[in-house]
Amino acid sequence: MSSSTRAVALLLATSLIAQPVLAQTAMVTAQPAPSVKIAPYFVDPATDKAVSRGQVIALLRKKVKYVFVIFNENHSYDNEFGTFPGANGLYADANGPRDAAHTPGFNQSFKDVNGNVIAVSPFRIGPDENGTVMDSVDHSHTGLARKLHVVAGAPQMDQFAQVDYDRVAKPGNDKSDKMGQQFAKLVMSHVDCDTLPFLWNYASRFVLFDNIFATEDTPSTPNAIAMLAGQSGETQWVKHGTTTVTAEAGEHKGNLQLAPLVNDPMPFWGSQFDPNGTKYQPDSPKESYKDGNIAQNLTFASLPLTLAGKDLNGMMKDDRAAETDQADIAKDIPFITSRGGKPVAWRWYQEGYDHEPYEPAKQASHIGYVSHHQGPQYFGYIANNPAFADNLRGAGDFMADMNAHKLPQDGGVFYIRGGFSNLEGQTPPIQNPNYPAKLTEADIKAINAAKSGDDDHPGYSDRQISETLAARVVNAVASDADLWAQSAIVITYDESDGFYDHVPPRILSYGPDGLPLARGVRIPMIVISPYARAHVVSHAEGDHNAVIETINAIYDLPPLASLPEEKAALIAGEDAKFDGPNGFKQHFLGPRDINTPQTDDLLSAFDPQRLAGTRPMLPPAYAMIDPDAIGHLPHYNGNGCRAIDIVPTDAAQGIKAAPPAGFNTLPSTLPAYN
């Protein structure tokens, strides 16, 4: 067997059923001190009998029909959960407290334009600093690569502050220097349950994953695509190389951004180069559609193909440009169809995609739409095919479908994403009107205008408005007892925004530019289900492929990595012409949705005894948050930790990591206070 065939065999040979016993005590550990509301449902996983992965899958297939993925934006794990008890965070891990010397990148410094070296380390921001709003840091592909600072294949995680300073500061410009210094500090900040009480409540009551990473070391678009495809186009690169692709339409002409995507270009479908015009897919009035900022048509495999099952071949006949849209899945289509799998419904609900409730009747402005977050719109065989495109809908449609009980009766997979606006018409809660100085009416107006989105992106969202959307989704599922009893909910993020995280990702691949491609910085992930374990942390390692793997297991889908076209590309990608720096062999240029030591699934979140019915399932009320609390900003009046009975690890150790003097959470929104 050749070395390339052997490497792919390692990825592909692992059966979904014949798996080793789950290492429960190592993979899943108890969170400390369950509260009185959690204690009746808590079982230490170390006391449970080991159960095979195959047994868990068989039980899941009997119980779970609906999977909901609440897909948020741009925060690292440490930025939002770095002081969560019992998990691998800034000051402790599952084994207990940990000092700075054993925390990669904890003590950083940056050199300013005058040659001064300034030290910075992680610090907490909360209600006193209006921690629900902050500005976005450097999450460009090149910036993220510098932040990882890979040395001999190992990320050092120690350049976050320097990169964010360098992005802004210019010699001889005092304002830029001051702004750069603020960003160099902001990137090291973190929040806790006083700022994110709903998300921390879910993490405490259910399962928090502390070893999940962005699939790609890039900004949002590649990871939005990876949520559906397990990659951002590595197999398309392997098949077609990096030959320039130019598009023309009227007075417009530009080179399309090629796969694998590493930036945030707009989708081809709905752009000025869309041969259909913008009739079928929307564009976003707030985003840049410059001729050089458009992605090429993506033609590699994605989850909607395998979800279609035996109906796939017939559905593909509706594609308006089948020859080009399906060029790289030609062998996958008959393979999937021939398996005779039962079709599984799916929908991608995203803020602003179509008419939203806050708009005049029949007038869809798309004002809340972030088109570069809309993963499915990048694929021609989805966006250019009515049989698939009908699955793309607005965030308001999700709530309407839930209220009218219009979800498919046989179950399915449903993604929910926010955007530039929010369905509730909320504005950020200004908890301290005197921070960073006495805020003027103009300041508050600027914050409201800039930070009223609901997908948690720090560039335009408020954290509590965003967790409001998540809470309304969870409540909508849990308020229907029959639906709750058949559901699993995943809350996760696309990428880190470039905020500091101390856990080095496993470097699995490099892109055509020679920079690290997979993986990116660690991100939060929570699994909620009536069949979930209660009050535990899973240390399973993975990325967005873990979500796909889990969906594959529940619905008995063929892994994307096993499809003929993807499998062949994975093997071809091991050729020396694709080698990374220093002869790095590319074993993972494609999807990784087969269970291996490099990428796990989310099955460790589920309690086999609850699945089997020998332990009561978690009741709907256990998942729900009081609607009055959801509708009131700030949540729990800024006392979230007390309300949900959690003591963050810094507080438990008496660590007082206060913000630096003169710190401004909004260096670009409110530059006067830098």
pLDDT for residue 21: 38
Locate the domains of the chain by residue range: 3-101+193-624
Residue of 223, 76, 94 whose CA lies nearest to 539: 94
Residue 618 and residue 207 in contact, taking contact as beta carbons nearer than 8 Å: no
- In degrees and rounded to multiples of 5, residue 379 shows phi and psi of -100, 120
pLDDT for residue 598: 79
pLDDT for residue 11: 54
- CA of 277: how far to CAs of 249, 268, 271, 289, 327, in Å? 10, 10, 7, 14, 22
The DSSP code sequence of 142-171 is HHHHHHH-EETTEE----HHHHHHHHH--T
pLDDT digits (tens, 9 = 90+) for 627-670: 999 999 999 999 999 999 999 999 999 999 999 999 999 999 99
Average pLDDT over residues 71-85: 98
Average pLDDT over residues 242-247: 96
Whether the pLDDT of residue 5 is over 90: the answer is: no
Average pLDDT over residues 18-23: 35
Average pLDDT over residues 143-151: 97
Q: Give the pair of three-digit tokens for residue 335.
A: 């393979």
pLDDT digits (tens, 9 = 90+) for 578-609: 999 999 999 999 999 999 877 899 999 999 99
| CA dihedral of 18, 24, 28, 32, whole degrees rounded to 10 | 160
pLDDT digits (tens, 9 = 90+) for 507-553: 999 999 999 999 999 999 999 999 999 999 999 999 999 999 999 99
Whether the pLDDT of residue 16 is over 60: the answer is: no
Higher per-residue pLDDT: 16 or 109 = 109
Average pLDDT over residues 116-139: 97
Whether the pLDDT of residue 254 is over 60: the answer is: yes
> Confidence band (pLDDT; 50, 70, 90) for 18?
very low
Average pLDDT over residues 87-100: 95
Q: Which pTM does this prediction carry?
A: 0.95
Task: Give strand ranges (E) for 236-298.
Answer: 246-249, 252-255
pLDDT for residue 330: 97
Q: CA-CA distance, 413 to 346, in Å (whole number)?
A: 5
Which helix (H) or strand (E) is 182 found in, with range?
helix 174-186
Whether the pLDDT of residue 203 is over 80: the answer is: yes
pLDDT for residue 23: 35
Q: Give the pair of three-digit tokens for residue 466.
A: 């965003």
- CA of 56: how far to CAs of 51, 163, 251, 423, 531, in Å? 7, 44, 57, 37, 11
Mean pLDDT (the chain, rounded): 94
Whether the pLDDT of residue 20 is over 90: the answer is: no
Q: Give the pair of three-digit tokens for residue 224.
A: 């939005």
Which helix (H) or strand (E) is 641 found in, with range?
helix 640-644
pLDDT digits (tens, 9 = 90+) for 258-283: 999 999 999 999 999 999 987 899 99
Label the pairing between strands 509-510 and 516-518: antiparallel
The Cβ of residue 424 has, within 10 Å, a number of other Cβ atoms equal to 17
pLDDT digits (tens, 9 = 90+) for 376-403: 999 999 999 999 999 999 999 999 999 9
Q: CA-CA distance, 129 to 643, in Å (whole number)?
A: 20
Q: CA-CA distance, 259 to 590, in Å (whole number)?
A: 11
Taking the chain, what is the end-to-end CA distance rounded to the nearest angstrom?
Answer: 61
Whether the pLDDT of residue 166 is over 70: the answer is: yes
Q: Which fold has domain 3-101+193-624?
A: Alkaline Phosphatase, subunit A (3.40.720)
Whether the pLDDT of residue 113 is over 80: the answer is: yes
Whether the pLDDT of residue 1 is over 70: the answer is: no
Label the pairing between strands 117-120 and 123-124: unpaired
Sign of the dihedral through C-alpha 400, 404, 406, 407: positive
